[in-house]
Structure 1
Amino acid sequence: MGATAATQHDRKPNPLSLFEFWPGWIFYTPVVIYWILLGLRYRDVTVPTAANPRIVTGGLCGESKSSILDMAGPYASRWIAPYTTLVTDRNDLPRTLDAMQARNLTLPVVVKPDIGCNGTGVKLVRSEPELAAALAAFPRGTELVIQKLIRLPHEAGVFYIRHPDRTEGEISSLTYKEIPTLTGDGRHTVMELLQQDPRTGKVLHLYAPRLTSRLHCVLAEGEQLDLVFAGNHCKGAIFRNGAADITPALRARMDAIMSDIPDFHFGRVDIKFSTKESLRRGEDFEIIEINGVGSEATHIWDASTTLREAYRAQFHHYGEAFRIGAKKKAAGWKPTPLWRGIRLWRRQKRLLASYPLND
């Protein structure tokens, strides 16, 4: 076949949804208005930050990825991909190798900022020279997570909600993440292949900056090139709604895992898994990250999702965050003060701007 961006599914007639890559301020304005209205109803716009009260801001912004994983008990820890942490300073490479050895981590690994979002700064490292370069790309004093590269072939986001007065939770969203791949024909350059594809041609700005050194290269016939490593929609990954694969067995497994993380009630669990069949059984997966109140039900970015469905999902999830936060507040937990939340959000924005381009 000619040059295409290959995925696991046939192409839809419309490769992008109506709103998929709208500017954030346009898409999220109704969500912000809804949040403010809920804040007026509950007399506190910060109530959701109490939904996961042991996490900074409940995971809305500024939280440490490793601190959430560190809270996992013995059962939950069995499902989390091994990791270690490091603060960039001097002699980063030997210090990192020592930290990896202490946790039985070997190359390849994934290096990512401990405070971040949307895959910003995530680097795939296969060798010691690549590790040294990745560490050097971050400003000094940056907290990093070095995590085992999970070899399982598929990735998904599982949104989990459990009210504090209930023993069982729900999986409100399951999203499959696909990495777009160019397939060469021996004639066209990478840039030409990107321009010809019905999806990538519409969002060249997502892919071209990461492929600068290869844009004018010609891929051999059948040669494949992954366009992005980080499984984030805003970085170019393709999201598919997997709601049909939510099963009682998967929910029960998530209940067992998430109940082993103290006072965690609301957020998205990013995983790698072997097959859809095993995932439906609640088996053969590893957790990459656990995200709190600031996470989304990412099935809204499936190209087949309508704008009405997307807002319905957003309003439902943030409504749940307020309801859970109110229950935790009534139980004595305090939401994050607004001024502190704003300060942490601004700090996170500064950090994100300082990170290198993700892989």
Structure 2
Amino acid sequence: MSVTSLPVALDAPGLQASSARRKSPVSFFEFWPGWLFYAPVAVFWILKSIRYGSLTLPTLANPRINAGGICGESKNDILGLAGPLARQWIAPYTPLTTSGHNDGNDLTLALAAMARAGLSFPVVAKPDMSCNGVGVRVVNNEAQLAAYLAAFPRATAMQLQALITHEGEAGIFYIRHPGEAAGRITSVTLKFPPSVTGDGKRSVRELIAADQRLNAVSNLLLPQLGAKAGAIPAEGESVRLVFVGNHCRGSTFKDGLDIVTPALTARIDEIVQDMQEVYFSRLDLRYESLEALREGRNFQIIEFNGSGSEATHIWDPEMTLRAAYATQFFHYGESFKIGAAVRQRGLRPSGLRKLASLWRHQKKLMAAYPAND
């Protein structure tokens, strides 16, 4: 049977053709060290800071979000900005804070919160403050939820969210300047979490090795799979290797800006305009089909990201380095422009000391979260 890292490839027009043209399963800069890839971005940021007189001006790009969402933002607080229209498009969730002592009461509190929110198993358990999918796990029953809660840091906020089973995953970047009547979509990333299809003979590890893309990112996949890598899937059985559709976990990202239609733009615009003063955000969502997404229907938003958002289509294996930097410079340049417009209202951006404190706190929490799927 076939091996594929693009489980819904047939639903993405042009994807098979572009795959045939691909010279390499990864772009040459796709897995550069962060300090190397982001060095030009840091220089750009500094130049913009000099021009606008503030190194932290983008913290005002979303004035209702802590530090604008550059770091240390609360997922629950951001979703709490949603009005009645936006809430219809957000996957149901409930906030939760673990108790100060691991006394077993967290499960009772969690089940009560789920009941109030109308949630049932399976649900996605995730930290309230995190990034790159750290600490995110699907829990299928009370026993798994109890284990997750027991491993979670004490007196720390988290979230339980309905598991959306739509196969399609996407990140849609939205920008609107204060005072503009309508915003625009500036980036679409179609995400394809890695998976293999069994032939009843080869192990997951062997199936990974047989796929050009998966083999190229096997160093990201195999350590997380552990003993599961030795399992032999049945013929035709599809095995998803990770849950979180994250680039740093081995997912394939494709530039999907060509799927944008007036209907999709209008839908995203009305949703974000019902979020209190969210001007610069990437919406992570799951969708039923590309046809439905183009028509602005049958999708559920998992979360909104703030000023620290990245237009993740730059990690498309066919992306050029020049285009990737042009994208980065455009988006972060827009965050400075929006911050400048908000500053005219008399608001002040967060200081460097606050950002450093938020970053240290987030890193400390992320090191303590349970292992993610």
Q: Under a length normalisation based on structure 2, what TM-score does the superposition of the two structures give?
A: 0.93
Deviation at 1:353, TM superposition (A): 1.4
The equivalent residue for 2:319 is 305
Q: What amino acid is the match of 1:217? A: A
The equivalent residue for 2:232 is 218
The equivalent residue for 1:271 is 285
**Structure 2 unpaired stretches of 5+:** 10-14
Q: What amino acid is the match of 1:48? A: P
C-alpha distance in structure 1 between counterparts of 2:286 and 2:2, whole Å:
30
Question: Which one of the candidate residues 51, 62, 66 is aligned to 1:41?
Answer: 51
Give 3-state SS (helix, strand or coil) of 1:199's partner. Answer: helix
Q: 1:6 to 1:284 in 2, by over 3 A?
A: closer
C-alpha distance in structure 2 between counterparts of 1:286 and 1:180, whole Å:
21
The equivalent residue for 1:328 is 342
Question: Which one of the candidate residues 73, 76, 80 is aligned to 1:66?
Answer: 76
The equivalent residue for 1:75 is 85
Alignment of 1:200-349 (within 5 A): 200-349=214-363
Deviation at 1:185, TM superposition (A): 2.0
The equivalent residue for 2:98 is 88
Q: CA RMSD in A?
A: 1.3
Deviation at 1:347, TM superposition (A): 1.0
Deviation at 1:204, TM superposition (A): 1.7
Deviation at 1:350, TM superposition (A): 1.2
Q: What amino acid is the match of 1:297? A: A
Give 3-state SS (helix, strand or coil) of 2:182's partner. Answer: coil
Give 3-state SS (helix, strand or coil) of 2:328's partner. Answer: helix
Give 3-state SS (helix, strand or coil) of 2:201's partner. Answer: coil
The equivalent residue for 1:165 is 179
C-alpha distance in structure 2 between counterparts of 1:20 and 1:211, whole Å:
22
Is the Cα–Cα contact under 8 Å of residues 4 and 193 in structure 1 kept in the other structure? no
The equivalent residue for 1:138 is 152
C-alpha distance in structure 1 between counterparts of 2:241 and 2:313, whole Å:
21
C-alpha distance in structure 2 between counterparts of 1:36 and 1:202, whole Å:
34
The equivalent residue for 1:97 is 111
C-alpha distance in structure 1 between counterparts of 2:33 and 2:136, whole Å:
23
Instruction: Name segments (4+ residues, structure 1) moved above 3 Å.
Output: 2-7, 9-13
Q: What amino acid is the match of 1:189? A: S
C-alpha distance in structure 2 between counterparts of 1:329 and 1:4, whole Å:
48
C-alpha distance in structure 2 between counterparts of 1:276 and 1:4, whole Å:
19
Is the Cα–Cα contact under 8 Å of residues 193 and 246 in structure 2 kept in the other structure? no
1:27 and 2:27 aligned:
no
C-alpha distance in structure 2 between counterparts of 1:278 and 1:197, whole Å:
30
C-alpha distance in structure 1 between counterparts of 2:3 and 2:86, whole Å:
43
Q: What amino acid is the match of 2:181? A: T
Q: What is the count of residue pairs matched by the alignment?
A: 359
Q: What amino acid is the match of 1:61? A: C
Q: What amino acid is the match of 2:147? A: A
Is the Cα–Cα contact under 8 Å of residues 61 and 342 in structure 2 kept in the other structure? yes
C-alpha distance in structure 2 between counterparts of 1:2 and 1:243, whole Å:
28
Q: Percent identity?
A: 51
1:356 and 2:366 aligned:
no
Q: Under a length normalisation based on structure 1, what TM-score does the superposition of the two structures give?
A: 0.97
C-alpha distance in structure 2 between counterparts of 1:279 and 1:332, whole Å:
39
The equivalent residue for 1:125 is 139
Deviation at 1:251, TM superposition (A): 1.2
Q: 1:265 to 1:197 in 2, by over 3 A?
A: same
